[in-house]
Structure 1
Amino acid sequence: MDLSQLRMFKKVADSGSIARAAEQLYCVPSNITMRIKKLEEELDELLFIRQGRGLVLSPSGVIFLKYTNRILSLCDEAKRALSSNSVPSGKLSIGAIESSGTGRLPKLLSTYHQSYPAVQLEFSTDTWKNLEDKVVKHEIDGAIIAVKSTHPSVCYEKIYEEELVVIASSTYDDIESAESLIDKNIYMWPEGCPYRKALENWLLANGVSVPITSIASYGTILGCVSSGAGISLVPKGIFDQFKLIGGIKAFSFDELKPIDNYFIWHKETGCHSAKDAFLELITGSEIKNTEA
């Protein structure tokens, strides 16, 4: 077993295809097939199961992937610790909930790339729970979520507050209270979203009961609202990003308190100058106070 085998195994596990893994690793598929077969022989376990035209992890493969992520993460840490180059470099994998990825991060990612061109930045969006799981499993180096993590393996730092606004079509009457949402269609992210929970708590506190339609996309939610199909509650950064398009207006309420956003990373990350530089940038006053 060697690191190249583990990297091949991880690529196939992540992509679900030997062909796609070969493209990403710039090698021929037959080489990966042979190395994975030798790895399975050494472990005396089947790591993949063929499903249609792709591959999925076997139960043993799922277990082995967890150890592979830890091993590769530790190797990357060792390289960083031994490097005499103090300038951030290497790979940095960052995840974020969609509200941050859409509202605040585009400008930040551009600034980071210009400041640290030697860093190979990888960015993705997901739900806060999936992002936390990926950090715990060493699949990503850090993530931005809107929930304070209580996982024992996770470190966190508050990076900013997201103000909340109720949005409606510009053709709607003004939203004056929670009661204004009665008989309106409400569009929100699915259960588990902290912004949805804030809306539900506000409605409950005011004795308002309305059905909520789940949509896992701010683009779709904004499209529904601007067309006059219903109402939503979103981070102000999302509204600021899309208000110039027209067709929507926002309303603020004192009862809807800002929600803290956090940057999280694994406690065992160790020396990681690229991650530290990212955290320093996102906690800077310029970023925190910048409207999207």
Structure 2
Amino acid sequence: MNTNDLNLFEAVAHYGSFTKAAEAMFTVQSNVTTRIKNLEEEFGALLFTRNNRKVELTLEGEKLIRYTKQINHILDEAKRSIGKSDIVKGQIKIGFLETMMTLKGPELVNELASKFPFVDLDFRSAMRASLISDVLNYKLDAAFIPAPLDIPELEQITIKDEQVVIVAPADCENLDILLKKNPLKTIVFDQGCVFRAKLDSWLVSKGIAQYHKTVMNSIEGVVNFIESGIGFSVMPEEIISTFYGNRNIKTFHLPKELGLMTTILVYRKDVPLSPALKAFISISRGTKSNNVDK
């Protein structure tokens, strides 16, 4: 077995097809079939179930794919980290909620470029659940997500606390009047958004289970719809005060248990931190890189 065997195995798992895996890996199907058979003989277990429509991982195959992702991730880190120079360099993939990327992304990029100019950042925006999954599956080196989190495989660092507020059209006098509207209209992000969840929780606490939802996939779109009087939403107070303070909108505070959101940075515990990721963590938490835990 070698790393190329594992790469072929991962390709078959990804595409669900020996033929497609062979095309993606620039080889022939017979080679892929032989390599997978050799892996199954070496591990003494069936790694795939095969039928006319699709190739799927067995339970033993699911175990091996987790180890394969971990091995490939560690090898990639080694390639980026090992060298004769003491200069911190390499590429890291960091996940964000869109709201935090809007606020802190430019600041982090500028500071990293100033202190560690040879580190390249790949930012990705997604919902909380997707970010967690990508870190667990080695697709992201780290991600900023809202707390709380209880996953043993992930290390977490508290980054900041922020206020989340109700954002309504400027002519909204108070929340009591807002809630009496029929139909009650909200502007929300896709399912899985933490701000949508807070909005749902607040409305349920007010005895409201049914209301109209308009789904938007951008901060600007949400603000535009609120300003137009279409509905209201829940967003970080800092986003509104920093970028939308001159818009025809108004904010109202949520109850303390819903209005406070803590952002944490998470990354896998079982993967040694690369110098590039250590540098990024040090900037994110406002400490020197040599103080980051090894």
TM bracket (short chain):
0.7 to 0.9
Kindly provide the CA deviation profile for residues 192-231 of structure 1, in whole angstroms up to 9, marking residues without a partner as x. Answer: 4332333334334444555152636234433422332111
Aligned to 1:176: 174
Question: Larger C-alpha radius of gyration, 1 or 2?
Answer: 2
Change (3 A) 1:239 1:73: same
RMSD: 3.9
* Structure 1 residue matching 2:140: 3-state secondary structure: coil
| Partner residue in 2 for 1:158 | 158
Superimposed CA distance per residue, residues 228-275 of structure 1 (whole angstroms, 9 cap, x where no aligned partner): 21111111243246427x654231326252210110011112232211
Unaligned runs of 5+ in 1: 286-292
- Distance change >3 Å, CA 129–CA 4, structure 1 → 2: same
Q: 1:57 to 1:103 in 2, by over 3 A?
A: farther
In structure 2, what is the equivalent of residue 232 of structure 1? 233
Aligned to 2:276: 274
Please report how far the alpha carbon of residue 3 of structure 1 lies from its aligned counterpart in structure 2 after TM superposition. Answer: 2.9
The alpha-carbon distance between structure 1 residues 165 and 30, as it changes in their structure 2 partners (threshold 3 A), is same
Q: Find the counterpart in structure 2 of residue 289 from structure 1.
A: none
- With normalisation by structure 2, the TM-score equals 0.73
C-alpha spacing 1:32/1:157, structure 2 compared with 1 (3 Å): farther
Q: For residues 103 and 255 of structure 2, what CA distance do their matches in structure 1 show?
A: 23
Report what 1:258 is aligned to.
260
Q: Which whole-Å CA distance do the structure 2 matches of 1:224 and 1:48 have between them? A: 50
Alignment of 1:47-86 (within 5 A): 58-60=56-58, 64-78=64-78, 83=83, 85-86=85-86
Q: Is the 8 A contact 1:144 1:262 kept in 2?
A: yes
Contact preservation (8 Å) 2:185, 2:230: yes
Residues paired across the two proteins, number: 274
For residues 22-59 of structure 1, give each alpha carbon's deviation from its aligned partner in whole angstroms, at most 9, with x where no partner exists. 9xxxx9963486864553343355699998xxxx8732
Match of 2:36 in 1: 40
TM normalised by structure 1 equals 0.74
Q: Which residue of 1 aligns with 2:292?
A: none
Q: Counterpart of 1:261 in 2: which secondary structure?
A: strand
Secondary structure (helix, strand or coil) at the match of 1:58 reads: strand
When residues 199 and 135 of structure 1 are mapped into structure 2, their CA distance, relative to the original with a 3 A threshold, is same
DSSP-derived class of the 1:163 partner: strand
Q: Which amino acid aligns with 2:119?
A: V
Aligned residues of 1:99 and 1:218 also touching (Cα < 8 A): no
* Counterpart residue number, 1:198: 198
**Structure 1 partner of 2:136:** 136
Structure 2 Cα separation of the partners of residues 57 and 264 of structure 1: 33
Aligned partners of 1:114, 1:50: CA distance in 2, in Å?
55
Q: Following TM superposition, by how much is the alpha carbon of 1:140 offset from its aligned partner in structure 2, in angstroms?
A: 1.4
Identity %: 22
Q: Secondary structure of the equivalent of 1:149?
A: coil
